[in-house]
């Protein structure tokens, strides 16, 4: 019986293959092809890839052209896989049509797995499996949909997906793939896991240029753009300052002055040398450290939303903790997903919003802080002063993409309400609670 790890390798392979076929293989003969399943041989040297597709008025299964095109593209596909998955040996790929009911059996298996998880008490999963019969009074389309909700512990917080799909099987397949994707992002970005790509960069980029994946290079380039747009309030190189304030694996403490001086010398996005054509990263300061804390969950949420869409899901609620949320479409016969914005106790009323195809991210001092001599020191730091930002209790940003709302909620926490009003983020809304009281919409509502 294949191990969990083996299955995950096959599922990662399937997802990347789907992406490569969708985004990179230009041959029109494979435009309608979709990857249904990937079975890896026990030694992982070969993989059987079952595909299906549909073109108007004819099933492609009787047409050999797509298979021949896939055969021609195989060397390119394997090279791309090697790069994206950082694999030394990519399995030989054999493409064939999915003529059996293999796909539905695979989803059955996923459903079984989902059902068994809580009983087996898998350590990383708390499962809330709700196949809810929809209330009366809904349209026929709505009645045809099933709601499935599930959560897993990923990236140090509860990752939750609720989605509507034509069947429980479809929803279960989508959610399982969604969690796999969140775990993949975690293994890319975690600064707690020593074998993540980000940890490797943190270890090596202070002394040499380090080759990074395209995904990491894109993400770091986006981070530099956020830094420039927010005048340095968001800064992914804030890691050494976060360490100095004791917030890496800790609850925070006041740093010694020289520790802070050293940390500030070893941070700053301008010292991040990103060579996009070579695909390398180097730190100009040896002790610089990347901290993905302000952006990682939002990025994972966006990627998960992408996976759910690939699986045909049109309505879903995805959250990582309570601070990074994406609401896709709407539940049947509703006009969005209701979200309550949490307001710190002293600061006033909470707001409620209805979101559809929108993200919301919240940054707040209440999430992590320590108090000393009557002062509250938050985990959100102003990279320019090296000190915890003050003046704001919490800020929520609503916008089209979670990664943007993530970066901006952190930056607006640091820059404060006056700056936020003068620099409105397009297509967005901002709700802010000041330290000591007073919550309200700054713009966009
Ligand atoms: P968030 O809750 O999204 O605002 O993220 C806060 C986390 O991001 C902190 O716990 C730190 O790990 C990290 N961080 C703190 N200050 C900054 C900053 N100014 N820019 C980027 N990341 C930060
Ligand atoms: Mg953030």
Residue 319 has a pLDDT of: 95
CA 395 to ligand 1 center in whole angstroms: 13
Chain centre distance of CA 359: 12
User: In this structure, are residues 245 and 252 in contact, taking their beta carbons and an 8 Å threshold?
Assistant: yes
In whole angstroms, what is the distance from residue 65 CA to residue 54 CA? 13
In whole angstroms, what is the distance from residue 266 CA to residue 246 CA? 16
For helices 65-85 and 4-23, give the axis angle rounded to 10 degrees: 120
Considering all CA atoms of the chain, what is the largest pairwise distance in Å, rounded to the nearest integer?
A: 76
Ligand nearest to the CA of 385: 1
Statement: residue 135 has pLDDT above 60: no
Calculate the alpha carbon distances from 84 to 15, 94, 184, 215, 217 in Å: 11, 19, 12, 8, 12
Chain centre distance of CA 52: 28
Q: Candidates 344, 380, 385: which one to mutate for ligand 1, based on the most atoms within 8 Å of Cβ?
A: 380
- Atom 11 of ligand 1, nearest CA residue: 293
Closest atom of ligand 1 to CA, residue 297: 3
Q: What would the pLDDT profile of 255-293 be if each residue is shown by its tens digit?
A: 999 999 999 999 999 999 999 999 999 999 999 999 999
In whole angstroms, what is the distance from residue 249 CA to residue 244 CA? 12
CA 233 to ligand 1 center in whole angstroms: 10
Statement: residue 355 has pLDDT above 60: yes
User: Any idea which residue has 């092809």 for tokens?
Assistant: 33
Q: Does this model's pTM top 0.75?
A: no
How many other C-beta atoms are found inside a 10 Å radius of the C-beta of residue 442?
17
Beta-sheet pairing, 272-275 with 375-378: unpaired
Which three-class secondary structure state does DSSP give residue 401? Answer: coil
Which three-class secondary structure state does DSSP give residue 6? Answer: helix
User: In this structure, are residues 228 and 200 in contact, taking their beta carbons and an 8 Å threshold?
Assistant: no
Calculate the alpha carbon distances from 180 to 253, 289, 444 in Å: 35, 27, 35
- Among 150, 206, 210, 152, smallest CA distance to 184 is for 152
SS (H, E, C) 317-335: EEEECCCEEEEECCCCCCC
CA 443 to ligand 2 center in whole angstroms: 19
Give the least confident one: 131-140, 175-184, 336-345: 131-140
Band (342; pLDDT cuts 50, 70, 90) = confident
Residue 122 has a pLDDT of: 31
User: Any idea which residue has 């050494």 for tokens?
Assistant: 240
Alpha-carbon dihedral angle through residues 285, 289, 293, 297, given to the nearest 10 degrees: 100
Ligand nearest to the CA of 293: 1
| Mean pLDDT, all residues of the chain | 84
Query: Which percentage of the chain shows pLDDT scores above 90?
Result: 50
Residue 109 has a pLDDT of: 57
In the sheet with 210-211, reading across from the earlier edge strand, the strands are 210-211, 280-283, 272-275
Closest atom of ligand 1 to CA, residue 407: 3
Count helices and strands (H / E) in the chain.
11, 22
- pLDDT average, residue stretch 304-333: 92
- Atom 2 of ligand 1, nearest CA residue: 363
Q: Which residue ranges have their beta carbon within 6 Å of ligand 1?
A: 233-236, 238, 242, 247, 291, 293-294, 323, 363, 367, 379-381, 383, 406, 409-410, 413-414
Q: What would the pLDDT profile of 36-95 be if each residue is shown by its tens digit?
A: 888 889 888 999 998 875 433 333 345 677 788 898 999 999 999 998 888 778 999 998
CA 292 to ligand 1 center in whole angstroms: 8
CB-based neighbours (< 5 A) of ligand 2, an ion = 294, 406, 409-410
Between CA 49 and CA 55, with CA 51 as vertex, the angle to 5 degrees is: 160
Q: What would the pLDDT profile of 233-250 be if each residue is shown by its tens digit?
A: 999 999 999 999 988 877
Which three-class secondary structure state does DSSP give residue 348? Answer: coil
Beta-sheet pairing, 387-388 with 392-399: unpaired
Statement: residue 221 has pLDDT above 90: yes
Side-chain-side CA neighbours of residue 108 (13 Å): 5
- Among 168, 159, 180, 128, smallest CA distance to 7 is for 180
User: In this structure, are residues 412 and 366 in contact, taking their beta carbons and an 8 Å threshold?
Assistant: no
């Amino acid at each position: 019986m294949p191990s969990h790890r083996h299955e995950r390798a096959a599922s990662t392979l399937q997802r990347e293959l789907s992406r490569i076929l969708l985004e990179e293989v230009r041959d029109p003969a494979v435009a309608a092809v979709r990857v249904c399943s990937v079975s890896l041989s026990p030694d992982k040297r070969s993989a059987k890839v079952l595909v299906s597709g549909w073109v108007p008025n004819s099933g492609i299964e009787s047409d050999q052209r797509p298979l021949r095109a896939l055969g021609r593209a195989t060397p390119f596909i394997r090279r791309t896989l090697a790069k994206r998955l950082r694999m030394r040996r990519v399995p030989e790929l054999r493409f064939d049509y999915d003529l059996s009911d293999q796909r539905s059996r695979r989803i059955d298996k996923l459903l079984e797995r989902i059902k068994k998880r809580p009983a087996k008490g898998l350590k990383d999963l708390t499962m809330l499996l709700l196949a809810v019969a929809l209330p009366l009074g809904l349209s026929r389309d709505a009645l045809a949909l099933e709601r499935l909700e599930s959560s897993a512990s990923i990236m140090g917080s509860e990752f939750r997906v609720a989605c509507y799909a034509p069947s429980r099987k479809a929803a279960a397949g989508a959610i399982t793939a969604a969690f796999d994707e969140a775990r993949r992002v975690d293994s890319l970005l975690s600064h707690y896991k020593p074998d993540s790509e980000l940890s490797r960069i943190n270890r090596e980029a202070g002394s040499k240029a380090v080759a990074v994946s395209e995904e990491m290079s894109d993400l770091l380039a986006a981070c530099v753009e956020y830094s420039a747009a927010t005048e340095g309030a968001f800064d992914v190189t804030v890691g050494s300052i976060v360490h100095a304030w004791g917030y890496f694996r800790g609850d925070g403490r006041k740093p010694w002055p020289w520790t802070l001086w050293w940390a500030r010398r070893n941070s700053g996005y301008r010292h991040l040398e990103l060579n996009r054509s070579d695909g390398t990263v180097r730190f100009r300061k040896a002790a610089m450290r990347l901290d993905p804390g302000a952006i990682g969950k939002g990025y994972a949420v966006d990627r998960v939303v992408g996976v759910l869409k690939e699986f045909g899901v049109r309505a879903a609620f995805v959250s990582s903790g309570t601070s990074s949320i994406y609401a896709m479409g709407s539940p049947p016969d509703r006009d969005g997903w209701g979200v309550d914005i949490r307001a710190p106790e002293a600061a006033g009323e909470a707001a409620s919003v209805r979101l559809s195809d929108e993200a919301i991210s919240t940054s707040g001092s209440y999430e992590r802080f320590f108090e000393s001599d009557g002062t509250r020191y938050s985990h959100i730091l102003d990279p320019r002063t090296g000190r915890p930002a003050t003046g704001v209790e919490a800020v929520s940003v609503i916008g089209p993409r979670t990664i943007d709302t993530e970066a901006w909620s952190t930056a607006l926490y640091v820059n404060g309400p006056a700056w936020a009003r003068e620099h409105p983020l397009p297509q967005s809304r901002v709700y802010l609670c000041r330290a000591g009281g007073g919550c309200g919409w700054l713009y966009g509502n």
